[in-house]
Amino acid sequence: MTAAKAFDSRGFASLLAHLEAAGEITASEAAIRLTSHETKLTPEQQAAADRMLAELRKAGLNVPSPDELGPREILELLIHRGEVVKIAEDLYFHRETVVQAERAIRDYLAAKGKITVSEFRDLAGTTRKYALPLLEYFDSKRVTRRLGDERVLIA
């Protein structure tokens, strides 16, 4: 019997990148799966998923609560598929909405250099309830960094 060799985080990330480039796996923010794996939904579940995605897309940055969206297991599946992004506890956005918000904050910071929560709230056309968790999400993803009451661009 041979001993298993441990990976450090860089080695594991390198392995995942290699497997993804080879088309063996698909990685999203929430999950890693074999490319060949596909979750089958019943027609009723697919209809619920389609409604949920449409509602989130329509809502933009002013999203309903998860309870208003529908079944939690469908929401979790959409997160695993990478179609929905969990920003904070009980705060979920359509992936396209997050991409658009990130593009907007990157453009703003490239031009202005810094942004406050209230400036981002106005830029995004939302309320502080949604703006602050989004900024914290961008901080966690190393898009922005908080310096006092302002955010600056990292990359």
Per-domain residue ranges of the chain? 10-37, 43-92, 97-153
Retrieve residue 146's tokens.
């908080």
Backbone φ and ψ for 134, nearest 5 degrees, come out as -65, -45
Distance CA 71, CA 101 (A): 26
Laid out side by side, the sheet with 150-153 consists of 115-116, 150-153, 144-147
Residue 94 confidence (pLDDT) above 90: yes
Residue 1 confidence (pLDDT) above 60: no
Residue 80 confidence (pLDDT) above 80: yes
Residue 21 CB contacts under 8 Å (≥ 6 apart), including other chains: none
Strand-pairing partners, residue 34, are: 25
List the one residue out of 103, 51, 99 whose CA is nearest residue 78. 51
Q: Which fold has domain 97-153?
A: Arc Repressor Mutant, subunit A (1.10.10)
pLDDT on residue 5: 65
Q: How far is CA 79 from CA 106, 114, 154, in A?
A: 24, 30, 26
Distance CA 68, CA 81 (A): 20
Dihedral of CA atoms 4, 9, 15, 21 in degrees, nearest 10, equals 170
Q: Do domains 43-92 and 97-153 have the same CATH topology?
A: yes
Assigned CATH for 43-92: 1.10.10
pLDDT on residue 18: 79
Is residue 59 within 8 Å of residue 50, measured between CB atoms? no
Question: What average pLDDT does the chain have?
Answer: 89
- What pTM did the predictor assign? 0.75
In the numeric block, the tokens 């441990």 are attached to 6
* Alpha helices, DSSP H, located in the chain: 9-21, 43-59, 66-69, 72-81, 95-112, 117-124, 128-140
